[in-house]
Amino acid sequence: MDAPLECAGVPRDLGVAQGSAFGHEVRAHAGTARLLEGLSRPAQELARLDRDLWGHHPQLAERVTGLALAAGASRRGVLRGLSEAGGAPSEAVALVAATGAAMPRIWCRFSGGAASCAPRIRIDRPDAGIAALVAAPAWLPAAVCGVNQAGLAVAVSAPEAPPGGADRFGVPPLVLVGDCLQRFSDVGGVLRWCAGRPAGGVATILAADASGDVAGLRFAPGERTPLALEDGVLMGSGPPALCEVLAKAARHEVAEGAEGWAAALREAAPGAPGVWLDPAGRCLGLSRSDGSAAMFDLPGS
């Protein structure tokens, strides 16, 4: 069973650790670095994304640079992957946060058809911030979902076919997940941060904390809408039928431990890898597409 990848230090160091460990996957997705790449003009959307990253999310911009350098990959290719991921990696289609008698958990379903979008687990230990267990494809410098040492879980999902519309910013809501895990211990901090930070596109961010609180925010061009619980569940973006199946599973009693939660995820979304986040336990569970399961804890939690 693979241990989570440890990434520690300043933002560029975090990217270097990830690029060194996952270099093959990063190059396969982003392309190999080209000697004169920096002398040519990037595509307009990539130039906008890079500008907005440096202006509003400089720590992630530094991590992108470290990831590309260590992997020997095209920095523009890494940016393109971040842009195409949008609200979440391609085909990350459903997200549910459940609360009620039990402590809340967040359930995420990743791509069932693209091996490059399968979740890889890492521990991010920024010099200035809270350590977190996160899940994301190997090539993605941002986090799709995670749980931090303070007992906060955050995740993002995007619809299959986002509606059209223009946004002022080229940075997707995806980048806010890592921000929140690094900075906050409760869902109140997540809501305040996500309501005010620059990001554009269509997606849903859900959060749950060790006190039992859950909250969600839906992003669309020109608006951000808080979500309301429906029978004890917050549902993220994705195909309505799949969201309903996950919501039904989340409302039922599930046996504790990796195998019990993995079985529930497999029943809800067969053939696709999934992740569940337990903020009270400061742990993350992984259900792989081959049927195996694993539970990861933050050392020191």
Query: Which amino acid is it at 218?
Result: R
Mind listing the pLDDT tens digit of every residue in the chain (301 residues)?
578 999 999 999 999 999 999 999 999 999 998 765 655 666 777 888 899 999 999 999 999 999 999 999 999 999 998 887 765 553 333 455 555 556 778 888 776 556 677 889 999 999 989 999 999 999 999 999 999 999 999 999 876 555 554 455 678 888 999 999 999 999 999 999 999 888 888 888 999 999 988 899 988 888 899 988 877 788 777 667 667 766 766 666 555 555 666 676 666 666 678 888 889 899 998 888 777 888 899 887 5
- Three-state DSSP at 148 gives strand
- Please name every residue paired with 216 in a beta bridge, in sequence order, or none if there are none: 206
> What three-state secondary structure class fits 218?
strand
Measured CA angle at 103 (ends 247, 193), to 5 deg? 80
Question: Burial of 153 by CB count in 10 Å (0-12 exposed, 13-18 middle, 19+ buried)?
Answer: buried
107: nearest Cα among 245, 291, 296: 245
**Which helix (H) or strand (E) covers residue 97, if one does?**
strand 94-98
For residues 49 and 119, the answer to whether their CB atoms sit within 8 Å is no
C-alpha distances in Å from residue 82, one per residue of 29, 129, 152, 230, 296: 11, 22, 24, 31, 25
Q: Which amino acid is at 153?
A: A
**Helices 58-71 and 11-21: crossing angle, nearest 10°?**
30
With tokens 């520690």, the residue in question is 8
Residue-range domains of the chain with CATH: 5-85 (no CATH), 94-297 (3.60.60.10)
- Backbone phi, psi, residue 84, to 5°: -70, -25
CA separation, residue 254 to residues 43, 68, 135 (Å): 48, 41, 22
